[in-house]
Structure 1
Amino acid sequence: MKRDVLSRLIGAVILGGLFPMTVPAQAADNPPVTDVLPSGVPLPFPSTAPNNTPQGWDTTLLGDPDGVRSRLRAHGVRINLQDVEELWGVASGGISRGATYNGATIVTLNLDTAPLFGWHGGLFNISAIQLRGRSATADRVGAINTLSGYDAGGRNTRLFEMWYGQGFWNNRLDIRLGAIDPDTEFLVSDNASLFLNSDFGWPGVPSANLYGGGPSWPMSVPGIRARIIPTYPVSVLVGVMDDNPTGGPFFRERSMLDMNPTGTQFSLSTGVLALAEVDVSVDAAGLSDVPTGALPGVWKLGGFYDSGAFPDRRYDTQGHLLAASDSNGQPLMHHGNWMIYGIVDQTFWNPDGDDPKAASVFARIMGTGGKQNSLSFGVQAGFTFHGIVPWRSNDVLGLAWGMSTAGSRAWHFNRDSLQSGADDVLPLRTEHHIELTWQAPVCNGVVVQPDFQYIHHVGGGILNAATGRRVGDAAVFGLNMTTSF
């Protein structure tokens, strides 16, 4: 039976028959407005239909006043404004208890070159971000992964992305060139994007191991990316770009936002980041004889290679232990770094009754080398449930877990430090976080999302300088409100 199902799946992918569809000609890869949101993304009901048409104004708070937006769109102009407000309260554990506020406002402008200039298949995209508030993670928790993708720990107004996209062959090839944020497309699990913890967006493993946390929200880097659709259930995503959004050294004393406060400082001095990903769309309902609604899923396999130089986590340039008293304090440098990952987003329950209900599962696993990486392995997994709250058919509930574990030499460095008698180091542990979230639309364009997170082994077992003891497991309550105007 398993062999028969597998053969049907492989055959369907090869023949391109899982989703017999065509892609209409339009501006290159017209991005959803939610692409600029790093976490807490409104999660649509699972569907096998391609998401390649501009969103209607009925999904926004202001709608289409006097038809202004419709007239602008007819001329190729689309402007989107989104605002995010968050409150976080540490109820127990962490560094300290208390409440913290952070927020962001994002403006995006899309120009379709066909109605504007008669140039078909072209799209110009530019976006800017205004950040405010404080970091609850840095000030009160101390976790490896921030409580939210918006927890940037700074206040400024900055450029986010600025690129030109061109589609070819009815958009079966789509190329972007300019200032790009790869984490809007690479490494993305749609179901994981529902959750607020940053590990479910741009994960902790690449964030800890790349220069400046890697090119991720709210940073962008100069580069080029291409999406190729050889057959419609399969797409291939490749990108080549700068690897350092701050332009600074690997070990930095200032925050990322302070090192590149406007988002317009681009540096090509450290290395090149090359990414590749293969996505396969499936409808699992076609593999079963049981009547059911569509069971869409996307399975992904990808990885990246960074040509830069990265510090060894245990040895210095003389071959001595970095934790030893005779170390020169300069880590041995290794050329190149890599990571591979796999992602499964799959709807497994959709009764297709009068009330829209569905349940989906996601899993993302990633691994990398242990010499030059503080984190070498990470996993995120969870469930999302549509329409199971009585009288709230559009609400989404989610439960997820994630973890990040240290590389082999980072573990040994910790042990070396303990043996050398360091009084500010504790035995290293693996941090885990669990998140329970409820996304509830309250009116057109406004989504409220209560959230609870529990972080076990905060920071891998760091010391609380105020108490002289290990930072306790943190229980954190949050509230996110996202408004699309």
Structure 2
Amino acid sequence: MLATCTLWSGARADDRASATTQQDLRQQLAAWGIQFNLTYIGETFANPVGGVRNGAIYTGRLDAGTTIDLEKLVGWSGATFHANAYQIHGDGLSRSYVGNLMLVSGVEALPASRLYEFWVERALLGGKLLVRVGQQPSDIEFIDSRYDDLFANSALGWPGIAGIILPSGGPSPPLAVPGVRLKAQLTDKLVGYLAVFDGDAAPPGPGDPQQKNPHGILFRVQDPPWVIGQLRYNFELGTTALPGTIAAGAWYHFGSFDNQSLDASGRSLADPLSSGEPARMRRNRGLFGVFEQLLMRSPLDPAKGAGLFIRTSVSPSDRNLISFYLDGGIQFTGFSAARPDDKFGVAATYARISRDVRRYDQDLQLFTGIATPIRDFEAIFEVSYSFQVTPNVAVQPIVEYVMHPGGGSVDPNDPTQTLRIRDAIVFGIRSTTTF
């Protein structure tokens, strides 16, 4: 017994010494301007009701990154370097079971080890202008809200319309692209953003973009560019100065896109006499807006409370699967003294299938004589609660209701080809651990 206690005490002492050594190392690296982060997200989702078929999956993503203050490290004034990489494993509920457009989870991706971000940023004009160059995503700063970070559905991060209609889903997880981003503090309340990205993370042609750029190191710069700009205005509401933001912007893609209903001769793609090759449409564009508002402050922490967000976007119908998009939600945090860091939220998304896609579906009924479904919209409703178990571990149960998966697409299991994919109910649990 004495020997066992001695060994146990020695092990505890070794653990404490190791933790102290790690902390000392972190502090020394921070003094040099070097920071590391390591986060693991593991999640299980199941759809016992609806979808293409019922099932369950596990998905995991390890995110390893570093941020280096180059001014501290090498004396380059106002410069910062950042890089991070993903190790993704497991299956995806949307691609394997539900069949929906707006993925059940933003973590869902094909298994791979891939570089994500790799950029350098320089602060100029006393920090009022930030210039970032390198491989980077767009979803962190553009069409984003501080109150959508709780939610699991992919569309509640990078908006569903952008992830669906842009080549390779646009610069968002798991595919970032080379680009240049400018961020300017125009006034105390007004911030401007402008970025030029390569227009596609993967080479042209058929196939999954994640398979065509399997490790995120193609660094493509030869594709027609994608340009996006945004103005963000910050304000305070009422006598308690509740913070809010209004953002508006536009994007423009210089590539070519398939017409959704006609071939090059102007004949319906559903017509048996059609060439089957869609007419090519030059360029693509979109408008978007974001509103977010803190509705009430937490009695425990004025920085927390109930926050509302609403986002919307439109794009042309003739060259896009989705022409109108709307999402919104509300997030609560800081309302329990026992659990001050827990978060609860409800949110919903709506993606309308474009007029030209519906026209194609109508023509398909006409030419085949089969009452195939006419796609109309896909919508998601999500409820989520994040339990902050320790400062480094959060556990999050999630429920999603998926309406009209695939926009109301034909159920591939229906031999008559007249039934839609059934609405799905999804249950999940996510754990997030930071090291």
Partner of 2:235: 282
Residue of structure 1 in register with 2:47 after alignment: 90
2:360 and 2:410 map into 1 onto residues whose CA distance is 16
What residue number does 1:37 align with? none
- 2:36 equivalent to 1:79: yes
User: Matches of residues 125-274 of structure 1 in structure 2 within 5 Å?
Assistant: 125-152=82-109, 154-249=110-205, 252=206, 254-274=207-227
Asked if structure 2 preserves the Cα contact closer than 8 Å seen for 1:433 and 1:453, the reply is yes
**Could you report, residue by residue, the CA deviation over 1:431-477 in whole angstroms, capped at 9, with x for unpaired residues?**
11100000111001111111000011111112222244422110000
Cα distance in 2, alignment partners of residues 128 and 306 from structure 1: 27
Distance in 1 between the 2:21 and 2:243 partners?
32
Q: Which has the larger radius of gyration?
A: 2
Describe the shift of the 1:229–1:356 C-alpha distance in structure 2 as closer, same or farther (beyond 3 A). Answer: closer
Worse-matched range after superposition: 199-208 or 395-404:
199-208
Verify the 8 A CA contact 1:239 1:274 in the aligned structure 2.
yes
In structure 2, the partner of 1:29 is none
Identity %: 29
CA distance in 2, matches of 1:327, 1:238: 41
Per the alignment, residue 65 of structure 2 pairs with 108
Within 5 Å, which residues of 2 pair with 1:218-367? 218-249=174-205, 252=206, 254-284=207-237, 288-289=238-239, 292=240, 294-350=241-297, 352=299, 358-367=305-314
How do 1:391-406 residues align onto structure 2 when only pairs under 5 Å count? 391-406=338-353
Answer yes or no: is the 8 Å Cα contact 2:300–2:340 preserved in 1.
no
Query: 1:24-52 CA distances to partner (integer Å, 9 max, x unpaired)?
Result: xxxxxxxxxxxxxxxxxxxxxxxxxxxxx
Q: Distance in 2 between matches of 1:247 and 1:187?
A: 26
Distance 1:84 1:354 in 2: 27
Most deviating of 375-384 and 259-268: 259-268
Q: Partner residue of 1:373?
A: 320
- 1:259 CA displacement: 0.8
- Within 5 Å, give how 1:360-439 maps onto structure 2: 360-388=307-335, 391-421=338-368, 425-439=372-386
For the residues of structure 1 that align with 2:383 and 2:400, how far apart are their CA atoms?
Answer: 6
* Distance (Å, rounded) in 1 between the aligned partners of 2:260 and 2:247: 30
Q: What's the TM-score, normalizing by structure 2?
A: 0.91
Q: Where in structure 2 are the equivalents of 1:446-457 lying within 5 Å?
A: 446-457=393-404
Choose 185-194 or 424-433, whichever is displaced more. 424-433
CA contact (8 A) 2:298 2:333 kept: no
Aligned partners of 1:219 and 1:209: how far apart in 2?
15
Asked if the contact 1:247–1:266 (Cα under 8 Å) also holds between the matched residues in 2, the reply is no
C-alpha contact (below 8 Å) 1:246/1:266 kept by paired residues: no
- CA 148–240 in structure 1, closer or farther in 2 if over 3 Å, else same: same
1:11 corresponds to which residue?
none
| Alpha-carbon separation, structure 2, partners of 1:229 and 1:124 | 21
Aligned pair count reads 414
- 3-state secondary structure, aligned to 2:149: helix
Offset, 1:64? 8.2
Do the aligned partners of 1:87 and 1:478 also contact (CA within 8 Å) in 2? yes
Does residue 484 (structure 1) correspond to residue 434 (structure 2)? The answer is yes
Q: CA deviation at 1:305?
A: 0.4
Q: Deviations over 1:254-276 (max 9, x none)?
A: 22211100111133444110110
Structure 2: 5+ residue runs without aligned partners?
1-18
**Counterparts of 1:64 and 1:424, CA distance in 2:** 69
Distance 1:78 1:365, change over 3 A: same
The alpha-carbon distance between structure 1 residues 356 and 182, as it changes in their structure 2 partners (threshold 3 A), is closer
Matched residue of 1:419: which SS? Answer: helix
| Superposition deviation, residue 394 in structure 1 | 1.5
Amino acid across the alignment from 1:162: F
User: What's 2:408 paired with?
Assistant: 461
Deviates more, 1:443-452 or 1:422-431: 422-431
Answer whether contact 1:247 1:268 (CA < 8 A) is retained: no
Partner of 1:183: helix, strand, or coil? Answer: coil
Distance 1:422 1:440 in 2: 53
Q: Provide structure 1 residue ranges, at least 5 long, that are not aligned to the other structure.
A: 1-61
Q: Specify whether residues 270 and 312 from structure 1 end up closer, same or farther in structure 2 by C-alpha distance, changes over 3 A only.
A: farther
> 109-118 or 383-392, which moves further after superposition?
383-392
Alpha-carbon separation, structure 2, partners of 1:443 and 1:64:
22
Distance in 2 separating the partners of 1:150 and 1:223 = 23
The one-letter code sitting in structure 2 at the alignment partner of 1:143 is: N
Q: Would you say 1:472 and 2:428 are equivalent positions?
A: no
* Contact persistence 2:36–2:65 (CA under 8 A): yes
Does the CA-based 8 Å contact 1:64-1:70 persist in structure 2? no
8 Å CA contact 1:225–1:238 kept in 2: the answer is yes
Structure scoring higher RCO (CA < 8 A, sep ≥ 6) equals 1
